[in-house]
Structure 1
């Protein structure tokens, strides 16, 4: 039997050693110091057997955009670790219950994480709410496009000045796309624009490319020199983020990135599935999708609260029968009455129009997974014909949910 309790700041190093053991990591002191600073900003929960820390979980104090431009408190789980000697003994279950109970007590209707192993989290009610699409551009020749790039001049922004310039622009994207977390100055400086890339030390420092005054779009990228490239290749460009007001602005940014000297490849990890580049690229042999993967996973901590808090594209009134064995307050039937003017969700006794697990409701919540697809997959039961289509019409968003903020 383990005891679940808060992890004090003076035990952060113990928590990190457990995480490094679990993730087979041996970071240098600079990286360890960064992790200490990060965890000092998080809520921390530990599983103790006597005085031994055998499980750990932390949560960033984030806010996440949801459809309709609403910003919700959203604990974001990280450093989830269970000692190899204590696997399959209920440690993760106890930690998850403790963290979700704290989230509910704090009034957070949703929580989020990135899954290191996708098979783990569904049983705890988490669902993949956004997708990432990785793209590779062959830049040995000019990028062929079907739209004309915006002719305004591009400029490189000094990294120390970038948060003040692109930070407000990024905040505006959060209102347009669900699933994005707010970034404070610390996160811009210490996470998004760090001098070194934690995963690839051969990459150079971050560069920020901007277009327009006022700002109409920007890209954050790093380069790897040809001296560190694969045999027979020149250098490469890694695009971390690219946002643009119009397709023409996006075309100008992509064209510049694909035209950087001494490089022949552009990699963009985790682009949105509805990225305009995938449509206005004139040669899809030059612009290829290399992978599609589940990105942000969310957990509905308060089902009626979360449904009432988001925006809705069309009127809908349905009874949902939600299965949630982990959080009993979510388990049961709820009448959802929603539309462009607002929403209400309350307990109901009437027969259900749709029956679904909370993990599948989470996958649909941001508008990234159609309910009708889950009906066809046998994961959602449609008791009233057409109910899934009506709910999908109401859940619809102009842009697919998307985030690049891995944590």
Structure 2
């Protein structure tokens, strides 16, 4: 049968969710399904239909992504799923191709996702652009620190009222660190506010808690969201702090909660100050490291000329892009802290690489010279990779926690 790629109307959203839960072997409760449906109603929905049956589904949230020096529109892919009976029949390729056409029409130069199966997305030009650490802290004793925590008071807030207090801190983090997605009211309601409903997928955990650091009536200098499980495990949702002493105060608070034994944080930035100011690394351990956000440069020229540059660079890049040929070819990148120009070039290339490797380097998290050593990019002019790395460098490593 012929597969038809088209919009999924509101009337078919529940059918699309059924397919996503089938593909991901997910069992969700009524409250979670209600919130998923609410999110889907606010984003693009592309479906693959066969004889009016939905056999493929992907959603794209219209968000902004912080990049060095600013922000760019991004299609944040979600619920990417194909019926198990229709794998390897071009369904996903057709849906992704439709999303690329929409990104080009709307002027969105970037797309991103969290990959459930990492082997899939490289062939569509996605590269791992941010990394995250899993961190575990033994909280059977006070957290041993090398710095003095911020002494300002801690306050427990009702999650439903917390957003106006904590959102400015998140926005400040987006201004200094790339890889962070914009958040609207629906996202904050999904992630932080309980709206009086328990999260039915966390039956063994307590309710969401929000603690902020700072004097009442003054802007907060840090916040943490967390839950406490029945076995005494504190699971951190998100921790943002204006500086290291503020972060130390919040981590110390988490370690001091009565009747708990362990802190688990599943997404911590690789350059988080905790990993340096913790005095005992047997107490604070990194238990995992993994690619977080996968990034696609849908429009390479727009992406490169819109970000800021840390140092001058003048190189010819030979870019390969199997699925978006407009990005492929030889281009001269001339950039410095005042801006960048990216235009076709006829001369020999200094560097040759696939668009997925360029995406991995774009936010400043992956040095290109590592990819050269791995055989994934070719340095044709000695020293060219180091020059591009210096220009791409950022003060903070990119990080995505959403």
Once the two structures are superposed, residues 85-113 of structure 1 have per-residue CA deviations (whole angstroms, 9 ceiling, x without a partner) of: 11111111111111111111110010110
Aligned to 1:78: 78
- 1:138-149 equivalences under 5 Å are 138-149=138-149
Could you tell which deviates more after superposition, 70-79 or 157-166?
Answer: 157-166
Aligned to 1:211: 213
Matched residues, number: 396
Distance in 1, Cα, partners of 2:201 & 2:342: 43
Aligned to 2:254: 257
Aligned to 1:232: none
The CA RMSD measured in Å over matched residues stands at 1.2
Cα shift at 1:218:
1.1
Distance in 2, Cα, partners of 1:395 & 1:132: 20
Gaps of 5+ in 1: 230-234
C-alpha contact 2:29 2:201 (8 A) present in aligned 1:
no
C-alpha contact 1:179 1:401 (8 A) present in aligned 2:
yes
Distance in 2, Cα, partners of 1:241 & 1:180: 13
Distance in 2, Cα, partners of 1:90 & 1:180: 31
Distance in 1, Cα, partners of 2:316 & 2:200: 47
Distance in 1, Cα, partners of 2:393 & 2:255: 33
Cα shift at 1:357:
0.4
Distance in 2, Cα, partners of 1:121 & 1:198: 31
Change (3 A) 1:277 1:394: same
C-alpha contact 2:128 2:359 (8 A) present in aligned 1:
yes
Cα shift at 1:199:
4.7
Gaps of 5+ in 2: none
Distance in 1, Cα, partners of 2:37 & 2:189: 16
Q: Please give the TM-score of this superposition, normalised by the length of structure 1.
A: 0.95
Q: Does 1:309 align with 2:314?
A: no
Aligned to 1:191: 191
Could you tell which deviates more after superposition, 214-223 or 24-33?
Answer: 24-33
SS of residue in 1 equivalent to 2:227: strand
Distance in 1, Cα, partners of 2:289 & 2:200: 22
Distance in 2, Cα, partners of 1:288 & 1:193: 30
C-alpha contact 1:222 1:239 (8 A) present in aligned 2:
yes
- 1:385-396 equivalences under 5 Å are 385-396=382-393
Q: Does 1:32 align with 2:29?
A: no
C-alpha contact 1:319 1:348 (8 A) present in aligned 2:
yes
SS of residue in 2 equivalent to 1:263: coil
> 363, 367, 388: which is aligned to 1:366?
363
C-alpha contact 1:304 1:334 (8 A) present in aligned 2:
no
Aligned to 1:47: 48
Distance in 2, Cα, partners of 1:199 & 1:17: 17
Change (3 A) 1:327 1:192: farther
Once the two structures are superposed, residues 343-375 of structure 1 have per-residue CA deviations (whole angstroms, 9 ceiling, x without a partner) of: 111121121110000011001110110000000
Aligned to 2:275: 278
Cα shift at 1:395:
0.4
Aligned to 1:200: 202
Aligned to 1:159: 159
Change (3 A) 1:311 1:196: farther
Could you tell which deviates more after superposition, 115-124 or 182-191?
Answer: 182-191
Distance in 1, Cα, partners of 2:90 & 2:13: 23
C-alpha contact 1:133 1:289 (8 A) present in aligned 2:
yes
Once the two structures are superposed, residues 307-329 of structure 1 have per-residue CA deviations (whole angstroms, 9 ceiling, x without a partner) of: 00111111111111110010011
Aligned to 2:380: 383
Once the two structures are superposed, residues 32-70 of structure 1 have per-residue CA deviations (whole angstroms, 9 ceiling, x without a partner) of: 2222111101101111112121111110111110011x1
Q: Please give the TM-score of this superposition, normalised by the length of structure 2.
A: 0.96
